[in-house]
Chain A
Amino acid sequence: MASIKATGLVKRYGTVKAVHGIDFEIADGEFVAILGPSGCGKSSTMRMIAGLETVSEGTIEIDGKVVNDVRARDRNVAMSFESYALYPTISIYENIAFPLRSAGMNADEIDRRVRDIAEKMELVPLLGLKPQGLSSGQAQRVGLARALVRKPSVFLLDEPISHLDTRQRYRMRRFIKQLHQQYHYTMIYVTHDQEEALALADRVMVMSNGLIQQMAPPDEIYARPVNAFVAGFVGEPPINFFDCRLARDGGRWTLAFEGQTLTLPERLSDKAAQLGSEALAAVRPHFLSIGANGPLVLEGKVFVTEELQDQNLVMVDVGKVRFTLVAHPSVRPRRGEVVPLTIDADHLLLFPQDNSRRIDDDLAA
């Protein structure tokens, strides 16, 4: 068990700054996901906690003691890496047993632990094999098993389930979550996958450009993103953004976009006044519907409908902007059909435009 605290944490690689001075606290037994695109500083942060990178400035404390100068192996921190470096010449069994043998545990206890974790992670049939025959998903599970078998005080998981198929992903995710609930390890899970972060963590720390953008429970991150970056990075299908002009018309604010004008709900008046004439508007796909179902109605042209069976995703073009909406499976508009598109007035979000530029293009990939 361990709590973690970072104060003014900076990481520099030569002249390049990867982490720009961040502060956070992780409580004993808490499960935190660090979420962000590649290059956001999440892995550097994790590696500093593990002791694999030096701290350029600031401090890291584990259980109230500054550990900047404590070696990695003396921190009782275990890790599973994306690049699951397994030892190629020994069996899967021996790979999993390795950290226990290094710690001098007796053979019976090692055998019990290895078989226990192998059963939970469906690795029993693989125990006699060497790593080279494994698929990447299998290798990933072995890497995870090797980290978990030690039962250390802090688990750091770096994209441990990024290569798995849908069914295995759910299985592993639930396994990790139940493991956490059962043993209350302090866990830090580094990922670029927003779905994993929301599904697993007690709190999500969203990072971009070496800074923490927001750190909050999953429902809050999703419903009340502090800025456009967080709004855009979290949510599947992704949130819809559109640049718009704001203007005052008598007592109410209006939003103009692609030649169409909407009167903003009272709720957004203060926000609009604060933003001035230009804003970035956003609405989640679940809060858009086809039909004129309220005061905020746009007109658009259907691009594609994806029938996912439990729901349909409909893509609708309004001018140059493509909106995605989630609809009932019975809603199947034809391609090219012109349809009214209603924005749920309670769930329209407004952000400053200057925060928007880094959202659209080429985030990670």
Chain B
Amino acid sequence: MYELKAVHKRYGLAKVALRKIDLTVRDKEFLVIYGPAGAGKSTILNILAGITRPTTGDVLRDGVSILHLPPERRDAAMAFENYALYSHLSVGENLAFPLHARGMARAEIDQRVKRIAEILGIGHLLDRRPGFLSGGQRQRVALGRAIIRPADIYLLDEPVGHLDAKLRHKIRAELKALADDLNATVVFTTTSSREALALGDRVAVLNQGRLEQIGTPADLYHRPANAFVASFVGDPPMSFITVEPRREADRVAFVTPDGMPVATLRADALDGLRPADASIQVGFRSNEVRLAQQGDSAALRGRVDVIEHLGHSKIALVGIGRDQVSVSVPAHTSIHVGEEVAIAFPRDAVHLFQDARAVVHAVPSV
């Protein structure tokens, strides 16, 4: 188990990379650190590896501080976003390097190199030098060199970020299976929501050096702690409508500024809601809402601003007052930009935010 305790990292005088982060990496878990560019993801990996020293705070392994331990004594296997391969060695020699360094027998090394190269689809490149590879091929070699050897912890910094969609899909599955098989402890960074949800046993959402939320993919998706997590986890992102509360006996109705009802909730479910001087928003996922049919009671009316094809489905971005809501519809649905539509939503699929903090989530039953 690794722990970051109140880790703060400043570069120079002005740039703060991490702000008092508390983070635990459990044994044998696949932890994804997910956040936008500049969030501090790589800094966490570098601190775990011992390459970067925190400005303040402590790093523990199984309860013991490892701040003083240099990288070479930490047994962390790392894949960098910028590859860092040995340019004078072939792909095969690059992959074998960490195994030679451990004095493994030649036959065993060959076998492992072959297996990893096959998994990553670089078996035909073993004799080439890194300089003759594409960026995506180099990235796969860097990933292979990290995962080829046993290690206490694997630190993978956007290791598939430069691959095309098809390869990313393939290697993602292999990586998940491999981590399972090896019972490995992995910390993996990404800017892709899909990757974070697909791979993580837990996902830590990082933003501007702050930990916004850490939890299972289901926690983050169904019970986001705040509007940032809600809009950052899930593809397409959650949409929001600004509403005003209207108390009606034991219920509170939330209506748009134009008076359209969005949701009605029982007042006792709204303990966290403060008297309304702050902005309140209702969040929807694109698959939690649909185009209204005749007979739907509650419906929001709006106008289609944008239609995005996604192959099997398309997303209609519907303008409602000053907000826009994404609605996922089957690809064959006839719908046009400029069309007036009504949106229906199941009453239990509501996410309510006040001042961007989550107040209540009514999770749809699966």
How far apart are the CA atoms of A309 and B286 in the complex, in Å? 13
Q: Contact between B310 and A199 (Cβ–Cβ < 8 Å)?
A: yes
Question: Could you tell me which residues of chain B, from 166 to 211, have a CB within 8 Å of some CB in chain A?
Answer: 166-167, 169-170, 172-173, 176-177, 180, 191-194, 197-199
Q: Contact between B317 and A174 (Cβ–Cβ < 8 Å)?
A: yes
Q: Contact between A313 and B198 (Cβ–Cβ < 8 Å)?
A: yes
A163, A309, A326, A363: most-surrounded residue (chain B CB, <10 A): A309
Q: Does B36 contact A (CB under 8 A)?
A: yes
Q: Contact between B38 and A309 (Cβ–Cβ < 8 Å)?
A: no
Q: Does B294 contact A (CB under 8 A)?
A: no
Per-position binary interface string of chain B over residues 302-329, scored 1 when its CB falls under 8 Å from any chain A CB and 0 otherwise: 0001101111100101000000100000
Q: Does A249 contact B (CB under 8 A)?
A: no
Q: Contact between B287 and A310 (Cβ–Cβ < 8 Å)?
A: yes
Q: Contact between B311 and A198 (Cβ–Cβ < 8 Å)?
A: yes
Residues of B within 8 A of A306 (CB): 172-173, 176, 197-199
How far apart are the CA atoms of A256 and B135 in the complex, in Å? 38
Shortest CB distance B156–A (Å): 17
Among the 9-residue stretches B61-69, B102-110, B231-239, B252-260, the one with 4 or more Cβ atoms under 8 Å from chain A is: B231-239
Q: Contact between B287 and A181 (Cβ–Cβ < 8 Å)?
A: no
- Asked whether A193 and B309 contact (CB < 8 A) given A167-B237, A308-B194, the answer is no
Per-position binary interface string of chain A over residues 167-200, scored 1 when its CB falls under 8 Å from any chain B CB and 0 otherwise: 1101001100110010000000000111100111
Shortest CB distance B37–A (Å): 4
Q: Does B163 contact A (CB under 8 A)?
A: yes
How far apart are the CA atoms of A102 and B164 in the complex, in Å? 38
Per-position binary interface string of chain A over residues 220-235, scored 1 when its CB falls under 8 Å from any chain B CB and 0 otherwise: 0011000000001011
Q: Does B354 contact A (CB under 8 A)?
A: no
B198 to A, closest residue via Cβ: A306
Q: Does A218 contact B (CB under 8 A)?
A: yes
Q: Contact between A136 and B37 (Cβ–Cβ < 8 Å)?
A: yes
Q: Does B366 contact A (CB under 8 A)?
A: yes
A-B contact count (CB 8 A): 140
How far apart are the CA atoms of A223 and B194 in the complex, in Å? 23
Cβ contact of A194, chosen from B163, B165, B180, cutoff 8 A: B165
How far apart are the CA atoms of A310 and B172 in the complex, in Å? 18
Shortest CB distance B229–A (Å): 11
A286 to B, closest residue via Cβ: B312
Q: Contact between B308 and A177 (Cβ–Cβ < 8 Å)?
A: yes
Q: Does B1 contact A (CB under 8 A)?
A: no
Q: Does B297 contact A (CB under 8 A)?
A: no
Q: Contact between B136 and A236 (Cβ–Cβ < 8 Å)?
A: no
Which size bracket describes the interface of B in this complex?
35 or more
The count of chain A contact residues (Cβ–Cβ below 8 Å) is 57
Residues of B within 8 A of A335 (CB): 177, 180
Shortest CB distance B102–A (Å): 29
Cβ contact of B192, chosen from A38, A165, A232, A362, cutoff 8 A: A165
How far apart are the CA atoms of A306 and B139 in the complex, in Å? 23
How far apart are the CA atoms of A168 and B311 in the complex, in Å? 21
Q: Does B221 contact A (CB under 8 A)?
A: yes
B193 to A, closest residue via Cβ: A166
Q: Does B245 contact A (CB under 8 A)?
A: no
Per-position binary interface string of chain A over residues 281-318, scored 1 when its CB falls under 8 Å from any chain B CB and 0 otherwise: 00010100000000000000001101111100101000
A193 to B, closest residue via Cβ: B165
Cβ contact of B198, chosen from A219, A236, A308, A364, cutoff 8 A: A308
Q: Does A16 contact B (CB under 8 A)?
A: no
Residues of A within 8 A of B198 (CB): 306-308, 313
Residues of B within 8 A of A106 (CB): none
What would 9 A/B residue contacts be, using CB atoms closer than 8 Å? A138-B37, A198-B308, A199-B315, A219-B309, A238-B166, A304-B177, A307-B197, A307-B217, A361-B121
Chain B residues engaging chain A, CB cutoff 8 angstroms: 35-38, 121, 124, 134-137, 139-140, 162-167, 169-170, 172-173, 176-177, 180, 191-194, 197-199, 217-218, 221-222, 231-232, 234-237, 285, 287, 305-306, 308-312, 315, 317, 324, 331, 337, 366
Chain A residues engaging chain B, CB cutoff 8 angstroms: 37-38, 135-138, 163-168, 170, 173-174, 177-178, 181, 192-195, 198-200, 218-219, 222-223, 232, 234-238, 284, 286, 303-304, 306-310, 313, 315, 322, 324, 326, 329-330, 335, 361-365
